[in-house]
Structure 1
Amino acid sequence: MNAAALGTRTARLLATRSPLSVQPLAGGDICDAYRVTLPGGSPAGTDTGVFVKTLDAPPPGFFAAEADGLALLRATGAVRVPEVLAVEEDLLVLEWLEPAAPDAAQAERLGRDLAALHATPADRYGTAGPRYLGTIPLSRPAEPVRDPADWPMFHVEHRLLPLLRRAVDAGGIGHADARAVELLCDRIGEAAGPPQPPATVHGDLWSGNIQWSSDGRPRLIDPAAQGGHPETDLALLELFGCPHLDRLLGAYTSVRPIPGRAARVPLHQLQHLLVHAALFGGAYGRSAGAAARAALP
């Protein structure tokens, strides 16, 4: 979709006049992103415009799943997320969030917010509706899984093995590394740690999905929000790095300590490494194998 058509369509969806400008934004690996500035008096506000994501031929319900995930996070009252202004099959319109530099105070606030989020019970592991990591749909069990003792097998059967198959089929992981993941799956009960009831998690919490804010309260974006294991969110922050991570984790653990978490970080990073191996190949398959080996007790 060209920029002019995108601007016109956004204005129509928000019932306002023709846009003043459409500015492409950098940084997305999956979607194209734009800032669309609309005339004053639009439902989106008078000055800041809106953020628009598009994807040609997206998977079914792709943007609706993101909008639903944002609604799930918002409903907890624990974290802030952007407002959804419009959603269609190939397009999502969100309020514009003015970016700001990360700082230690915001990182500590986010740590406390995440602790509150993870203290929010979820109905089940996963969700009743679709969720995606990148463009990869996450597997859903035929019947809800709720027993904390069942999380290890849920994680194997609906996260690790389906993602491993995709990585193998895409040529993104070698035989030895794939075998290491399979071995970990066989021994998941030894690696999983104490039972964890389903908690509300962001589900794709790398640092690029944190929007640092000028008002001091960071927002979370691009979720795969679901019932899951809190350690997965924290491990992903560590996987790709996050500004002021020590302050964030310190604030989190002051509210919600997790004994023994460090030993389980590779296990909780593995699903995202498999997603990257399936989508991008390269060194991610080797990293997935290394994480699987590190997670073995």
Structure 2
Amino acid sequence: MRDYVKERADAPRGFFAAEAAGLRWLAEPDVAPVVSAIDHDNGSLRLDYIEESAPNAHLAFGFGRQLALLHNSGASAFGWAPAEPAWFGPLESPFEVEVASCSSFTEFWVETRLEPMATALADHLSQDHRETITSAIRAIADGAFEGISGTEGEKPARVHGDLWAGNLMWTPAGCTLIDPAAHGGHRLEDLAMLALFGTPFLEEIFAGYEATNPMPVGWRNDLPVHSFFALLAHVRLFGAGFLGQTLSAARSIIERAADLKG
């Protein structure tokens, strides 16, 4: 059996343990392919080797179905994670995120993700930019996005938590999940991340997802809410090059909240 080793000698304590726990938690329902974590220590994580192949529409549709089933497997609470501490970000520069058991998506998203990130960025932003970001967070805090497109609130979903295209590996048998920031969250978190930076055959993934979990009309208009944390994190990790996209998302959130209030 071939394997693949991720290594960083000075990784934060618990970083690789959290990734291994996240992979095992996502694999637990046995509804979506997840790379197997073989073992880990403070400085490395040993994984099964994955043989990659080209993406195609058939595999994408099937993955969409599997992702819906994974979300439906649920979590004990919003903000719960399979290991503590929990992390977000690349191997070279991850940062710790709060593990909590929140009663609602709004509480989790605002209090443990968005507000701490806005605080971390405050000294690096202009007053206008801070106000735009703060207004978007307030719009979310009002509870407009507790459900999807104005529907009733969501139950905690079992989410990957960092599902951009680079963390989805295409194989001859389907799509395999890697590098999670797994937690109990809102199912649109993963869908928003797939859409954020572009994913091959995204429409087919969404079609497969909706074939299993039918979505309300207008659900895609809510996606900026669920990619907002990742965008703020990219500003923190990689600099002002992501600020324009982040501010655009903030304005979309403000407008969407106003539309939902009617």
TM class by shorter chain equals: 0.7 to 0.9
1:162 maps to 2:116: yes
| Match of residue 221, structure 1, among 161, 178, 184 | 178
TM-score normalised by structure 2 residue count: 0.88
- TM superposition shift of 1:177: 2.4
Counterpart of 2:168 in structure 1 is 210
- What is the alpha-carbon distance in structure 1 between the residues aligned to residue 230 and residue 134 of structure 2? 16
| Match of residue 241, structure 1, among 198, 221, 228 | 198
1:175 maps to 2:175: no
SS in 2 for 1:218: strand
Counterpart of 1:53 in structure 2 is 6
- What is the alpha-carbon distance in structure 2 between the residues aligned to residue 193 and residue 64 of structure 1? 31
Q: Deviations over 1:1-45 (max 9, x none)?
A: xxxxxxxxxxxxxxxxxxxxxxxxxxxxxxxxxxxxxxxxxxxx1
- What is the alpha-carbon distance in structure 2 between the residues aligned to residue 218 and residue 205 of structure 1? 12
Q: Does the 8 A contact of 2:97 with 2:112 survive in 1?
A: yes
Structure 1 portions without partners, runs of 5+: 1-44
SS in 2 for 1:52: strand
Structure 2 portions without partners, runs of 5+: 148-152, 258-262
Q: Which amino acid aligns with 1:95?
A: D
Larger Rg: 1
Counterpart of 1:40 in structure 2 is none
Taking every aligned residue pair, what percent have the same amino acid on both sides? 35
- TM superposition shift of 1:178: 2.4
- What is the alpha-carbon distance in structure 2 between the residues aligned to residue 256 and residue 76 of structure 1? 17
SS in 1 for 2:28: helix
- What is the alpha-carbon distance in structure 2 between the residues aligned to residue 55 and residue 274 of structure 1? 25
- TM superposition shift of 1:193: 4.5
- TM superposition shift of 1:190: 4.9
Counterparts of 1:1-297 in structure 2 under 5 Å? 45=1, 49-128=2-81, 129-134=84-89, 135-141=94-100, 144-145=101-102, 147=103, 150-169=104-123, 171=124, 173-188=125-140, 189-194=142-147, 195-214=153-172, 216-259=173-216, 260-296=218-254, 297=257
Say which structure, 1 or 2, has more relative contact order (CA 8 Å, 6+ apart). 2
Q: Deviations over 1:260-296 (max 9, x none)?
A: 3112111111000011111001321222121111011
Q: Does the 8 A contact of 1:84 with 1:94 survive in 2?
A: yes
CA RMSD of aligned residues (A): 1.5
